[in-house]
């Protein structure tokens, strides 16, 4: 069975500063990894995903995440955040076999201050 750990429940950061949201997973099989973002009163939106190939994946709005198999991590980073990035971010994992259930972490609230 897979599990996801997001150790930081909230990350406050000033606008234009860099940020890293941490995600570690546990699995005995190969996995796919995802980051979702949830803005207030909205559903979750897929931000980026790792399926295979390059371990560094990017989103269209400047976020990137790197799959590190040895560290079982998939941390999310952005070099310069905006106020509009304030949201809840969820890391998720699914195995590459027959199960397509997504297991979510507990979420990290990114709070960008002016």
- Pairing outcome for strands 73-78 and 103-104: unpaired
- Beta-carbon neighbour count of residue 21 at 10 Å? 24
Count residues contacting other proteins (CB under 8 A)? Answer: 22
Q: Are 57 and 50 in contact (CB under 8 A)?
A: yes
Give the interface segment with other proteins, choosing from 12-20, 56-64, 79-87, 91-99 (CB under 8 A).
91-99
Alpha-helical regions (H) of 23-99: none
Give the interface segment with other proteins, choosing from 54-62, 66-74, 75-83, 102-110 (CB under 8 A).
102-110
Contact residue for other proteins among 3, 55, 71, 106 (CB under 8 A): 106
Contact residue for other proteins among 90, 91, 93, 110 (CB under 8 A): 90
Show contacts with other proteins in window 20-79 (CB under 8 A): 32, 34, 36, 42-46, 49, 51
Which residues in this chain contact other proteins in the complex, by CB under 8 A? 32, 34, 36, 42-46, 49, 51, 90, 92, 94, 96, 100-107
């Amino acid at each position: 069975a897979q599990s996801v750990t997001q150790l930081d429940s909230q990350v406050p950061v000033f606008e234009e500063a860099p940020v890293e949201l941490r995600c570690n997973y546990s699995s005995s099989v190969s996995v796919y990894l995802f980051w979702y973002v949830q803005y207030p009163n909205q559903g979750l939106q897929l931000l980026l995903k790792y399926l295979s190939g390059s371990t560094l994946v990017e989103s269209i709005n400047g976020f990137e995440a790197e799959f590190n198999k040895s560290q079982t991590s998939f941390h999310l980073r952005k070099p310069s955040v905006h106020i509009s990035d304030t949201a809840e971010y969820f890391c998720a994992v699914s195995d590459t076999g027959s199960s397509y259930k997504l297991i979510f972490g507990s979420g990290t609230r990114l709070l960008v201050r002016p």
